[in-house]
Amino acid sequence: MQTLGFVVYPNFQVMGFAAITVFEMANLVAEKTIYQVSLLSEEGGLVRASAGFCVETEAFDSKAFDTVVFGAGTQIEPATPGLLDFVRHSVQASRRVAAPCVGAFTLAEAGVLDNRRATTHWAYARELKNRYPLVKVEEDRIFIIDGHVWTSAGMTAGIDLALAMVEKDLGPELARTVARKLVVYHRRGGGQSQFSALLELDPKSDRIRKALDFAKQHLRSTLTVEELADAANLSPRQFSRAFRAETGQSPAKAVENLRVESARLLMEQGRLSMDMIASETGFADRERMRRAFLRAFGQPPQTVRRNARMPG
């Protein structure tokens, strides 16, 4: 049986408990208790979540856990000396430690991430990099494994992290069964991207959203402003003005981002050549696709594909 300590602190974000459910489901699928989960905090007792309710916890002590996960909050909170001491103890005493989302800041403050690769929620990645320059932050990753230290992006990426742990411990078939029971895709590879062009654009009106839907369905076409304006039932001038006001981007830039995202997804699937992907997503040739990837990710397509194939 493997013991798993899940660390919480005041105002922790309850989405982290989705990762605990992965281990619970693994026990159910295996029909035996493989993972025994304990909730931990510095003082023990009741700890209030950001959602307002409290959970019962055990206080930190010298007990060694197989795996320790340091939960995250809705914002970056300074770590207490007691929490930092427990991080350092866990790194020495446990087979692996993990931190989803802004939990990475706790590991970094304890010095655990110095000279290690790590990731966090995209909204905090630059801050992690600026605060802790010794950390090799890869801001567009779903999760990263560096030795026995695991970090992940925010929110649902914690599920991918937990599924990857189950796969490593119990094999891919059991992990796939757990994913199906949770009604999620089998866990995303660590190299997959947090980037989403449509979420970034977030148009306010149905007309602009309709134009973006049209663009996504016709990426292989040239997609002129006139075509997009027609899809939105606006004149080209009205459309360009409204589009920029709602999305903060020009139509041409938005179309490029949609093409980049579509191309990236095809690369992660790994079945098509670069030339075919460039053709399928509307880039005139792979050189134009390469330049677009450099603008979006600071990396060429070959690097993005290679990272997507990495386990973490």
138 in a structural domain? yes
Of all residues in the chain, what percent carry a pLDDT higher than 90? 62
**Same-domain status, 111 and 165:** yes
Q: Check which CATH number belongs to the domain holding 138 and give it.
A: 3.40.50.880
For 52, left (φ over 0), alpha (ψ -120 to 50), or beta? left
User: Does the global pTM surpass 0.75?
Assistant: no
Specify whether 70 is located in the same domain as 172.
yes
Do 176 and 46 belong to one domain?
Answer: yes
Beta-carbon count within 10 A of 290 CB = 17
State the residue for tokens 């411990």. 169
User: Is there a single domain that holds both residue 112 and residue 215?
Assistant: no
pLDDT band at residue 193 using 50, 70 and 90 as cut-offs: low
Mean pLDDT, rounded, for 12-26: 93
Q: Rounded mean pLDDT of 141-153?
A: 92
One domain for residues 301 and 253: yes
- Dihedrals phi, psi of 3, to nearest 5 degrees: -90, 135
- Is the same domain home to 152 and 9? yes
Q: Tell me: do 64 and 21 sit in the same domain.
A: yes
Q: Per the structure, how many domains does the chain have?
A: 2
* Domain with 56 in it: 2-181
CATH code for the domain of 263: 1.10.10.60
Residue 230 falls within a domain, yes or no?
Answer: yes
| Same domain for 142 and 235 | no
